[in-house]
Chains A and B, each alone.
Chain A
């Protein structure tokens, strides 16, 4: 550990802090994603010393992932797909006027989660990367499927509707060129669809613009100004779930280390686990449970450390941001790979040190900003809503610089609004959209690899990990079907007698 500190000096700390402040703003403004901010930073920093560049980017990364929760909690627009789960409990909480409490919990657990992930990166990078190598193509597909099956169950009363929402998300992800062959699918000759549908317009549309429309729709029933419940949250109360948070952070770190799955899957699985383990929450899940925010935030921040593991040891980026950090490495002539940590200890230490400093910056910024920023919810809705609408427009435009995305965003907003009216959850759709391409390519690769084997089924499902994952997925799927549920209850009843 003293080696880690050797790279730290005043200038380094300042760089991290500058990055952190930028990350706070970028993450909190809906439509501006962390990956976009890091991409911008790369073009600014590529003439710098690599430790400066890494310091700043880590600052943006760590704090940006956290601050995606800010807009998720306050205005129900997740800053990034990994904050989608935070909306499930965070927004109901702030609707009750407890925005401060929600932000406080999010800050504390984002801090512990990031710290946990980075510690894992520092201590366990090589063993974790070995685990990641054991995952076959089929395992990745099943993991994603498992994530989707879970989402369908956590976010709605009617499982069929949750799954249909998943399917719609998968269909949206299929639009554009397919990931392996580059064949146009479902584009219907529209040139703008060839590149596929990006996540940002969907995220902004399905959450932000749909929210705008439903507020207008329910205008007469809801009060115009939300009142804030004043009052402090004690640290003790917030830290009550620390044991559970260790568990969810571990989930976050491990899932983060699997390239392609990343934050969104981790946070959904963690949320489901929290829901399963906490039998009697003070407030039911989905209506503002502190445990929900805790699970989501600790796991998606633990993903940061996790996602850096395959990036550094295998040169495989775990998510969009690490993909950009990877390019920073290449620009500075550093070649991540199995020898990287041994050959370039100072770059590795810069990342770790910057990460740790950013964690503390997160804590301080979060605690400083929370009481101020949560006043946003007291802005009258009829002023807030137009602002949110124009933010939606900018956000969706800024991701690709084309108006077509704005039109898509409007369309998604309308769809999202209709889905809410008919009780279809939006979260599964977003997750399915994010995972669709990866599921598609992994599934086809698995089938193709197996097709030349003597026994295709055995080569596809024969590995121990695959067996475990298949069983988990099957259990989640079956246990949520109402008929099997009843049947199971009958069976259990008989056994008891």
Chain B
């Protein structure tokens, strides 16, 4: 008797509050999940933050009526896994995306950080979850190099790309007391003292390391040391322990403003809109062009690859809405990010983009003895072949 009362009250609560339909399968778990969510929401309201929740509910109702009835998704809160620690580039963008996705999906998106091992631990966790579209993954560029670096067996093809997100431009910087004032001075000194100029980067196989390798390919040999994070590498330069580094612009912005560093060049073929004074690397070294037409720090939004197409479509539609949201575009501008999501809209161009990216980076790493396994083993062709 009690149980029946409980079930009916729970059902009533979730219909009135969350406005989601209770499906007939596995009623029991469904009900409790919905009920706890309802409780959460009421708590939120009691705390005075109810407006947001209510809006979300209305949004959900609109959304539910707007979409075709073929797929009932999402009906419960989603989890977004960030395979890096809190506060990094991936985390910042992931959380922003989560907040906005919530607005358009009408369900809460809980962000969880599962850091470690170049993001492979969190990615593996997502892979092990059911492919129901309730676990989302925001990954960085290391996803493309796990196999050749022998970190784990995952790659982009284990997931379905909802959309590439943004690229975070990398800037070559030296400390404010450094003897180098221009990129040319630094490069000359590197040429004169091969292997003596120190450079810090965010970790093996990461974007900073890849750039060091590109420098090596171009004939500038530097002594590279792997630091704990991009920010840590930057502090090494500011503290005067390292000669130069190449952080993402998002970590760097405050330091440029405070005058703690001298930005020498943006590691790309074009100058950045937000910082038109910083020259592009290709201006000094034109032969670097083939390496610089891809984003080095690249974030992507993924789900498991055997997720039903209907669900993928819902997520794609929602992310389209997010990318059009002024809050998102503002954020992109404020962080001087490279809006990769604008360039690759359809599946074919996304596929081509990732293939090209992998072939450049994986071969670069392999030929420099950074990657352990040949990209050929995994069917990655060398660029231009």
Complex contact flag A–B (Cβ < 8 Å): yes
Task: Kindly list chain A residues whose C-beta atoms are within 8 Å of the C-beta of B226.
Answer: 180-181, 445, 448
CB-defined interface of B350-362 with A at 8 Å, one 1/0 digit per residue?
Answer: 0000000000000
CB-defined interface of B233-259 with A at 8 Å, one 1/0 digit per residue?
Answer: 001101101100000001101110110
Query: What 10 A-B pairs have minimum CB-CB distances, sorted nearest first?
Result: A337-B254, A327-B86, A452-B223, A338-B258, A326-B87, A448-B225, A177-B117, A133-B239, A182-B117, A330-B92
Q: Is B282 in contact with chain A by the CB < 8 A criterion? A: no
Q: Is the CB of B111 within 8 A of A43?
A: yes
Q: Is A345 in contact with chain B by the CB < 8 A criterion? A: no
Q: Which residue of B lies closest to A178 (CB)?
A: B117
- Cα(A451)–Cα(B99), bound, Å: 46
Ordered by A's residue number, 10 sampled pairs between the chains whose C-beta atoms are within 8 Å are A181-B204, A182-B118, A182-B151, A316-B231, A327-B87, A327-B91, A336-B254, A339-B254, A445-B227, A452-B198
Task: Kindly list chain B residues whose C-beta atoms are within 8 Å of the C-beta of A323.
Answer: 85-87
With both chains docked as a complex, state the minimum distance between the C-beta of B173 and any C-beta of chain A, in angstroms: 14
Q: Is A464 in contact with chain B by the CB < 8 A criterion? A: no
Q: Is the CB of A48 within 8 A of B111?
A: no
Q: Is the CB of B49 within 8 A of A48?
A: yes
B49, B120, B151, B225: which has the most chain A beta carbons within 10 Å? Answer: B225
Q: Is B275 in contact with chain A by the CB < 8 A criterion? A: no
Task: Kindly list chain A residues whose C-beta atoms are within 8 Å of the C-beta of B235.
Answer: 133, 314, 316
Task: Kindly list chain B residues whose C-beta atoms are within 8 Å of the C-beta of A324.
Answer: 86
Q: Which residue of A lies closest to B110 (CB)?
A: A43
Q: Is B308 in contact with chain A by the CB < 8 A criterion? A: no
CB-defined interface of B366-385 with A at 8 Å, one 1/0 digit per residue?
Answer: 00000000000000000000
Q: Is the CB of B99 within 8 A of A331?
A: yes
Q: Is the CB of A133 within 8 A of B117?
A: no
* Chain B residues close to A by CB (< 8 Å): 44, 48-49, 52-53, 85-87, 91-92, 95-96, 99, 110-113, 116-118, 120-121, 151, 195-196, 198, 203-204, 223, 225-228, 231-232, 235-236, 238-239, 241-242, 250-251, 253-255, 257-258, 260, 331, 334
- Cα(A330)–Cα(B195), bound, Å: 37
Q: Is the CB of A330 within 8 A of B95?
A: yes
Known contacts A46-B99, A133-B238; is A317 also within 8 Å of B87 by CB?
A: yes
Known contacts A46-B99, A327-B113; is A338 also within 8 Å of B85 by CB?
A: no
- Cα(A338)–Cα(B261), bound, Å: 11
- Cα(A339)–Cα(B118), bound, Å: 29
In chain A, positions 456-491 with a C-beta closer than 8 Å to chain B are none
Q: Which residue of B lies closest to A437 (CB)?
A: B228
In chain A, positions 107-146 with a C-beta closer than 8 Å to chain B are 133-137
A-B Cβ contacts below 8 A, count: 113
Q: Which residue of B lies closest to A43 (CB)?
A: B110
Name B239's contact: one of A134, A326, A339 (CB within 8 Å): A134
- Cα(A333)–Cα(B227), bound, Å: 26
Q: Is A371 in contact with chain B by the CB < 8 A criterion? A: no
- Cα(A177)–Cα(B48), bound, Å: 43
CB-defined interface of A332-354 with B at 8 Å, one 1/0 digit per residue?
Answer: 01011111100000000000000
Q: Is the CB of B95 within 8 A of A327?
A: yes
Q: Is the CB of B255 within 8 A of A337?
A: yes
- Cα(A432)–Cα(B291), bound, Å: 43
Task: Kindly list chain B residues whose C-beta atoms are within 8 Å of the C-beta of A194.
Answer: 117, 121
Q: Is the CB of B49 within 8 A of A335?
A: no
Q: Is A223 in contact with chain B by the CB < 8 A criterion? A: no
Q: Which residue of A lies closest to B330 (CB)?
A: A333
Q: Is A179 in contact with chain B by the CB < 8 A criterion? A: yes
With both chains docked as a complex, state the minimum distance between the C-beta of A401 and any C-beta of chain B, in angstroms: 11
Q: Is A315 in contact with chain B by the CB < 8 A criterion? A: yes
Known contacts A177-B116, A180-B203; is A315 also within 8 Å of B251 by CB?
A: yes
In chain A, positions 189-209 with a C-beta closer than 8 Å to chain B are 194-196
Q: Is A158 in contact with chain B by the CB < 8 A criterion? A: no
B195, B204, B235: which has the most chain A beta carbons within 10 Å? Answer: B235
Q: Is A221 in contact with chain B by the CB < 8 A criterion? A: no
A326, A331, A333: which has the most chain B beta carbons within 10 Å? Answer: A331
- Cα(A46)–Cα(B113), bound, Å: 15
Name B331's contact: one of A135, A316, A329, A333 (CB within 8 Å): A333
Q: Is the CB of B204 within 8 A of A452?
A: no
In chain A, positions 260-298 with a C-beta closer than 8 Å to chain B are none
Q: A195-B116, A327-B95 are in contact. List 9 more A-B contacts (CB 8 A).
A: A46-B99, A47-B52, A52-B49, A195-B121, A196-B116, A331-B96, A339-B254, A445-B227, A448-B226
Task: Kindly list chain A residues whose C-beta atoms are within 8 Å of the C-beta of B120.
Answer: 182
Q: Is the CB of B232 within 8 A of A316?
A: yes
Known contacts A47-B99, A177-B116, A181-B204; is A335 also within 8 Å of B253 by CB?
A: yes
A39, A136, A317, A327: which has the most chain B beta carbons within 10 Å? Answer: A327
Known contacts A46-B95, A337-B255, A339-B257; is A137 also within 8 Å of B49 by CB?
A: no
Q: Is A11 in contact with chain B by the CB < 8 A criterion? A: yes
Q: Which residue of A lies closest to B149 (CB)?
A: A182
Q: Is A227 in contact with chain B by the CB < 8 A criterion? A: no
- Cα(A327)–Cα(B88), bound, Å: 8
Task: Kindly list chain A residues whose C-beta atoms are within 8 Å of the C-beta of B232.
Answer: 316
Q: Which residue of B lies closest to A454 (CB)?
A: B196
Task: Kindly list chain B residues whose C-beta atoms are within 8 Å of the C-beta of A135.
Answer: 239
Q: Is A156 in contact with chain B by the CB < 8 A criterion? A: no
Task: Kindly list chain A residues whose C-beta atoms are within 8 Å of the C-beta of B253.
Answer: 335, 337
- Cα(A46)–Cα(B52), bound, Å: 11
B44, B92, B121, B254: which has the most chain A beta carbons within 10 Å? Answer: B254
Q: Is the CB of B241 within 8 A of A330?
A: no
Known contacts A181-B204, A448-B225, A452-B223; is A330 also within 8 Å of B87 by CB?
A: yes
